[in-house]
Each structure stands twice: as structure tokens, then as C-alpha cells.
Amino acid sequence: MSAGRAILHCDLDAFYASVEQRDHPEYRGRPVIVGGAPGDRGVVSAASYEARAFGVRSAMPLRTAGRLCPDGIFVPGDRERYEEASDRVMALFAERTPLVQPISLDEAFLDVTATEHLFGGAVATARALKTAVREQCGLVLSVGVASNKLCAKVASDLRKPDGLVVVPRGGEAEFLAPLPLSRLWGVGPRTQAVLEGWGLRTIGDLARFDPATLEARLGDHGGTLGARARGQDDDPVEPEGGVKSVGHEITFDRNTLDTRVIESTLLRLAEGVGQRLRAASLRGRTIHLKLRVAPFETRTRQRTLPVPTDDDLTVFRVARSLLREALAADREAGRASPVRLVGVSASGLDSAQQLGLFDSARTARLNAALDAVRSKFGDAALDRASVRDSTQRKRFADGPKLHGS
């Protein structure tokens, strides 16, 4: 997308039912209904797309679902498994931007305005997330891409399952115009009946309706609905409790004991962390190193700095020191643990509104220049000498295989 905000709305398709189908291969391709037994008095929590073909919908009484789909697979649901799956997906979102606003277990808004250049643009970010969620979590993601939350949300709902809908910047009103009034935020059944009583049927009809008359009849809500119908929405993406950490990690194609390869990878990861911190005007006080070693053991180390930083090399030097400490501990214990995954993250985040006491203006200017070059020519445009390993450079130019951190 061109200059301006870039917002994604990411929505996991038939989430609870999809987790059940993922975890029970025998359920795949069959109608799955989550919520309880068909004779229970409760309601449907989720229905697979196979069940929806029979007319089963969320919030429908289970007894009704049982009549519509007598051969369906009815399961009570497992909140703990759903939360675990949601956490994994949200971690993938956080790899692309620190500005993630979860709406529920299965959907979130992402503001990728400041970080889209790191991943090839908003649309490329959306495609990469769809692939990552499918390959790493076994779930299907629909994504809407727009300049605001309203249009991104509407877009993500249009082509489910497995949809990707992009609303061109400047084309928000045109995108919304042919859609029914029920698609617009704030138009419930009662408001829809009122608007239809005035002869309005589509969002475009509402957008063309006289704003003064709309506000006179519906008050402030009328003015809000008119603005939304014209595709106007300035609501920010607000992470729950603020951004907690910024990180990257990568899984090697093969386990490795080659320190040069691991440290070269660490530098690339640290550069990514630094770029994202600066893009979000944040600095991290605590640097974390994550290692996954054979056979499948995860190890973590961390170090807190006297002042927070957003500098690539500072992040790298701390992470490299933690790595060397971990490898030295292995040698002292008489073991060698091949590394499968390595990750770097920064937490203890503060706003970077001004230079800290020990910050270097020269370093800040250098980082700003590097960011500008990479933004224009791509992440592989500039290589520090210690990262000039052709295999690693190609892997990062193509985009690292990211996991949650």
C-alpha cells in the first residue's frame, strides 16, 4: 500500500471447529459442531464449514443443530487447547509488528504501517502470515488489508474461508458502497430497520444520505454511521496492556554446531529487532536469547541493560555474549548440543521519544540511514561484514522462517 496507515484484520476461520479437525484427523471433511451434545440445552460455540452447509451457525441452540445435522460430530470443546492455539497464532502476528490488538481468541487487528517495509509491504505481510499460520499452526487464516480498521474488518469477512481481500487506499467508500447495511459497524437489526424505512438498502445509500438529516434523526450515532459509510475510521490499533516485547527467531534447515553460522544469524535477527524497535519508536531494556537444541530442549538467557536501546549492534553484542556463555556452559558440562532454532528479543520497552543519556547521536543517525536504505532497496541491500555468508543472506533476503517470540 502507498503512504498512510496499513491495517490488517486477521481472522481464523471456524476456529474452534478447525482446531478439533486439526487435532483429530478423522474429523476432517466432516461436519463438526462445538458446544456440547445435540440434546443439550446450550448453544453452538462454533461450526465447521461442512456443518454450516446444513444451516448450523454459532449461537444456535444445540438441539436445533442436532435436527439440522443429525450425523454431525458434536464435541464439548476444550478452552485450554483453543487458548494454546491462539497464543501460537498471536505470536506469529507479533513477529510482524508490535501493534497487535486481539479482539478474541481467533481475530486481531495489526497495524503494520511502521514495519511493512521490513516484510515487503502490507499485502506481502498478509500472505506470509496466512502461510505461516497454515504451516506452523495447522489453521486457516482470512485477512483483510486496508487503511483503517473498519474496512480491514469488512474485507476479511468477504471471502471466507482462506480469504485475502485488499481495499485500495482512497477506494474505501467505493469498496463499501455495494455492501448491505448489516455489514457496517453500528448497524444492528433495529438501526437497519430504521434506515430501510427511509429507503436505504446499501452502505452506499447511507453514504449519500444527507449528513445533517442523518444526525438530526439519529443524533451523534447518525453522524458516526455516515462517516463510516464513507469509509472514514481513525480508530487506532491498541495492543492489550501495551507492547511487551519485540523479537525474531529462525529455525535452521539442519541442526548446526557452527558458531559462525549461529552468530551470523544472530546479527541478522538483531538487525530485525532494532529496525522494528525504531519503527515503533520503542527501546528495549532486557535482551533475551532463545535456543532450541537437539533433541527438543528450549534454553533461554537474558541480560538487562543500564539504559534501554534500539541499536542493532548493541542488541547483537548482548545476544552474542549470552550465546557464548551458553556454549561455554555446554563445553564445561562435556556436551555439544546442536542448535535447531535461535531467537533474539527485547523486552522492558520504553518510548524512544528522545536520546537517552548514553545514546550516541551518530549511532542514531547511522541507524536511520540504514533503515532508509533497507526500506527502499530491501533488507539484503546492506550487509555487515560478519553476515556475508551467502546461504544466510539468501535465506534472509527471501524472508526468515519466523516463529512466535
Instruction: Give the residue from 173, 182, 180 showing the smallest Cα distance to 151.
Output: 173
Asked whether residue 162 falls in the same domain as residue 183, the answer is no
Q: Which of 140, 170, 200 is the last residue of a domain?
A: 170
31 vs 84: CA distance, rounded Å: 23
Q: What pLDDT is stored for residue 110 in this prediction? A: 96
**Any domain includes 404:** no
**Any domain includes 252:** yes
pLDDT band at 403 (very low <50, low <70, confident <90, very high): very low
pLDDT band at 381 (very low <50, low <70, confident <90, very high): very low
Q: What pLDDT is stored for residue 396 in this prediction? A: 40
Asked whether residue 181 falls in the same domain as residue 157, the answer is no
**Any domain includes 48:** yes
Q: What pLDDT is stored for residue 241 in this prediction? A: 65
Q: What pLDDT is stored for residue 363 in this prediction? A: 58
Q: What is the CATH number of the domain that holds 302?
A: 3.30.1490.100
Q: pLDDT tens digits for 276-316?
A: 888 878 899 899 999 988 777 888 899 988 889 999 999 99
Asked whether residue 223 falls in the same domain as residue 347, the answer is no
Q: Please tell me the pTM assigned to this model.
A: 0.65
Q: What is the CATH number of the domain that holds 91?
A: 3.30.70.270
389 Rama class: left (phi>0) / alpha (psi -120 to 50) / beta: beta
Q: What pLDDT is stored for residue 272 in this prediction? A: 87
pLDDT band at 400 (very low <50, low <70, confident <90, very high): very low
Q: Is the pLDDT confidence value at 361 over 90?
A: no
Q: pLDDT tens digits for 139-165?
A: 999 999 999 999 999 999 999 999 999
Please count the structural domains in the chain: 3
H or E segment and range at residue 10 = strand 7-12
Q: Which of 154, 170, 186 is the last residue of a domain?
A: 170
Asked whether residue 256 falls in the same domain as residue 373, the answer is yes
Asked whether residue 202 falls in the same domain as residue 334, the answer is no
Q: Which domain holds residue 263?
A: 245-398
Question: Letter for the amino acid at 224?
Answer: T
Q: What is the grid cell recorded at 162?
A: 482462506
Q: What is the phi/psi pair of residue 150, to 5°? A: -55, -55
DSSP state of 202: B
Q: pLDDT tens digits for 60-79?
A: 999 999 999 999 999 999 98
Q: What is the grid cell recorded at 87?
A: 497464543
**Any domain includes 235:** no
Positions marked catalytic: 107
Would strands 141-146 and 7-12 be described as parallel, antiparallel, or unpaired?
antiparallel
H or E segment and range at residue 351 = strand 339-351
Q: Strands, DSSP E only, in 69-189? A: 73-75, 100-104, 107-111, 141-146, 164-166
- 44 and 59 in contact (C-beta within 8 Å)? yes
